[in-house]
Structure 1
């Protein structure tokens, strides 16, 4: 699959756990099936919201293989392979690609500060994993504290042909999308797909700025799918109306430190996973927070039957 032409929604998958912290493969299967039923184009696993740092290397490999097999050839899977050192990155990248992954995602370490350091890092990463492995740039400065200017992203894309996609979650970032698409228009940058994160918080306008869709994990990925389709069909008002109905819940799920707990609680509420447990360290929701989520969920049901069905 040519990921430079990817569009739609690549769901950032959570990692389902049993209450005791073991990986729940039964819920993993139901989650993959749920994403497919929602119309997701593909999946991205072992990301920040997938609690990747809490898995050991063996778990990362076995979970990746399990999901890739369950997803099948019709649902491409991108695997996050970010690691402190290149040896582990290479090992995981080569293993998941051999298992059928469509590509890998690489985030910059938080030690990078200058433009040259960022570009050099991605060159070294490609040297480590091999230039035959398609990779995604993860641009998430709020979490990784690495600021990539559009010209830096352009340099990485131009100098490394195996770069196929940008996961864009700068905030604010609408102007960055416009600048990158402007580079394409003037011929100074080749085309790659741009899929956006941040829980979908700005997806309505990101699509209008030239993004190809979303790579995020809001508990209603079916809404994200519909918004992207409506925007691509030129149905702007319908896209915004649907998005606006979900915005209070999207916003609530975006709280730093609590977002994953909210997302997993909602996924359990929708019957996707059996437990909303996070692997330690991880904070759950208070009774008050659960009541607030339940309230927003009930309000959403007035506008979206999918919440009522759950």
Structure 2
């Protein structure tokens, strides 16, 4: 199984105007990601509105993603759930469509102590012996803000944990600690935070990033420049993209879908998750940022508006 490195965007879930999942739009999203030369894709994640998806929708969409990717790049399936049994169930669905990379956030309910987190992941690993795990360490209140010292202990006890996705704030010192003290079974650390801190993460040794999809081509350009030693060029891309990423931190999935309309991939900004509305001035601000990035002129009409 290939290791994880580079840009692995989290795919959003597209919906039709009446709120159903849009399978054809999902295919277009996957093709867009592949056309941007990404190094992998992630689905479902928080940016996929995973908590608003029914089990059958989630399974169907993951199967579609795996089929459309066709083995070209790794697919990482989000498998977080309140219990280890539920995580194992998600993992088995992923395995049934050929996906064995699983990203799992320890439930907030089990706390942040090493013994409890180790017990949770040990149970998951025993139930999914073929899986390779990305432990997602998310900030509170959505996550547990687990200390890096604890993560090292957990990774040492559960060899199937191949990566940590570190998203606590500030992530940089945690990434440095994890890489300085990691067991041999921990292949690397992946950055989070929507690529808003990607240069610091990469400078500290992070091997990958999992941003949203809307400017995947820019993130790939940044990643390639960094890996080839063109640091000034990577920083120039970062500085150009940061204003849009700052807005993305506020408007989340609505911004992603709005930008994908502007890029000709989606037809509406319909979301299920509670997300701030995009009003006229916000759309104008996004459009100005897109223009600065050289991304298409606004279309005359947007199906569904900025809903």
TM exceeding 0.5: yes
The DSSP-based 3-state class of the residue aligned with 1:237 is helix
How far apart are 1:94 and its partner, in Å? 0.9
Match for residue 303 of structure 2? none
Structure 1 residue aligned with 2:181, among 165, 180, 183?
Answer: 183
**Equivalent residues of 1:218, 1:253 under 8 A apart:** no
SS at match of 1:254: helix
Is residue 2:159 matched to residue 1:166?
A: no
**1:271 corresponds to 2:261:** no
Change (3 A) 1:75 1:254: same
Residue 150 of structure 1 deviates from its aligned partner by: 1.5
Tell me which residue corresponds to 2:6. 8
Match of 1:79, SS? strand
Q: Secondary structure at the match of 1:144?
A: coil
Quick check: 227-236 or 140-149, which moved more? 140-149
- Provide the secondary structure at the position in 2 that maps to 1:194: strand
* Separation of aligned partners in 2, 1:38 and 1:162: 30
Relative to structure 2, which stretch is displaced further, 76-85 or 277-286? 277-286
Cα displacement (A) at 1:287: 2.1
Determine which of 246, 271, 277 is the counterpart of 2:241: 246
Cα drift, residue 267 of structure 1: 1.3
Of 147, 152, 155, 1:154 maps to 152
Per-residue CA deviation, residues 160-194 of structure 1 (Å, 9 max, x unaligned), is: 1211121121211111111122124xxx5544132
Query: Size of the alignment, in residue pairs?
Result: 298
C-alpha distance in 2 between matches for 1:36 and 1:199: 19
1:219-258 equivalent positions in 2, closer than 5 A: 219-255=214-250, 258=251
| Distance (whole Å) between structure 1 residues aligned to residue 170 and residue 196 of structure 2 | 11
Structure 2 residues without counterparts, runs of 5 or longer: 300-307
- Show the counterpart of 2:106: 108
Q: Aligned-pair distance for 1:116?
A: 2.6
Deviation sequence 1:229-273 (CA, Å, 0-9, x none): 111111111100111011111111112xx2121111111111122
How far the C-alpha of 1:90 sits from its partner, in A, is: 1.7
Say if 2:49 is the partner of 1:54. Answer: no
Paired residues of 1:76 and 1:102 also in contact (CA < 8 A) = no
Structure 1 CA distance, aligned partners of 2:275 and 2:243? 24
Aligned to 1:287, which of 273, 276, 280? 280
State the distance in 2 between where 1:274 and 1:122 align: 40
Paired with 1:220 and 1:69, the residues of 2 have a C-alpha distance of 23
1:212 and 2:207 matched = yes
Q: Distance in 1 between matches of 2:184 and 2:153?
A: 8
Deviates more, 1:112-121 or 1:66-75: 112-121
Maintained 8 Å contact 1:46/1:79: yes
TM-score by length of 2: 0.91
Quickly say closer, same or farther: Cα 1:102–1:40, change in 2 above 3 A. Answer: farther
Q: Which residue of 2 aligns with 1:30?
A: 28
Say what the alpha-carbon RMSD is for the aligned residues: 1.9
